[in-house]
Copies of this chain bind each other. A is one copy, B any other.
Amino acid sequence: MDTVATLRAFNRTWGRRSGVLDESFLGTGRAYGSARLLFEIEKPVTVRDLRTRLGLDSGYVSRLLRGLQREGLVDVSPDPEDRRRRVVSLTAAGRRARGDLDDRSEGLARGLLAELSPRLADELGQVLGRADLLMRAATVTFEVVDPAGPDARTAVGAYLDELDRRFPSGFDAHEADHDADAMGGATGRFLVARSDGDVVACGGVQTLADGVGEIKRMWVHPDWRGAGLARRMLGRLEQEVAGLGHRVVRLDTNDTLVEALSLYRSAGYREIERYNDNPYARHWFEKRLTGSRAR
């Protein structure tokens, strides 16, 4: 059976069986919509966030919240930082209701697994865990953002922390702010990959010289590695470099980042002479961009 057919078959199986897992909502007399909302309010969150995370109409969310409020499950109050926004948080009763849904959902999952031997249940966990990562990775969205904005700063922060941990002599991040400028404006770009609103990977492009771009700050969240995100990010960044009018991409890296080295090599980069004075770099790569569309 080919992969497309497998995916579709699984979709049908899961759809038919999902009652086994989802009926939690019906069991509690709570409609799917408001239960979904309840699950999404872990900690205080703005109405807008809820809306975008669940992809719902503002009127609809407002109405659902009104319902939960009437039941005494949530508090809605203006956000002190911007009083147009409103912040929703669970009350004690709300936490209890959420816990009930949780328990019920957990019970259903447990019941399903109980039908399998421990070995097979464990195997199901393994394959679903892997499928989960791959599905999430396949549905990531790439987005150009301001390198000085909060998403970029958080991602780059995580990247720099990791360098500091992994480089034998640590990493001194004092130059990070200067970089942000170079990756914004007309001669640079900064990309993030987002899944359910979370930033899971990032990467930047800046101009070295006319016709020559450089890729920097490429990073994938540790939980998201092994799902092809780095290669896709690299391809997107190359597209951005081409979009800036360059024909050549360069980048540098350190020996410690072994997965990066093999990625660059397999993506068609060839090693060149030192082209900058980055004290942490040990390898310098270059790739000539062709018209072909990168993955």
Contact = CB atoms under 8 A, between A and B. Distances in A.
A262 interface: no
B131 A131 contact: yes
A102 B139 CA distance: 21
A15 B6 CA distance: 18
Grouping DSSP codes into helix (H, G, I), strand (E, B) and loop, the A interface class, with mixed when no group exceeds half, is helix
A109 B21 contact: no
A16 interface: yes
Interface in A127-184: 127-132, 134-140
Nearest to A4: B109
A186 interface: no
A212 interface: no
Nearest to A138: B115
A199 interface: no
B136 A13 contact: yes
Contacts of A278: none
Interface stretch (A64-72, A86-94, A117-125, A201-209): A117-125
Interface residues of A, number: 55
A8 interface: yes
Nearest to A133: B13
A258 interface: no
B127 A8 contact: no
B115 A139 contact: yes
B128 A113 contact: no
A118 to B, nearest CB: 9
B131 A124 contact: yes
Contacts of A232: 115
A52 interface: no
B106 A4 contact: yes
A132 B116 CA distance: 13
A60 interface: no
B117 A231 contact: yes
Nearest to A127: B127
A18 interface: yes
B135 A13 contact: yes
B123 A130 contact: yes
Interface in A2-19: 2-4, 6-11, 13-19
16 contacts: A4-B106, A6-B129, A7-B113, A7-B125, A10-B129, A10-B132, A13-B132, A16-B196, A19-B55, A112-B139, A115-B138, A116-B138, A116-B227, A124-B131, A124-B138, A127-B134
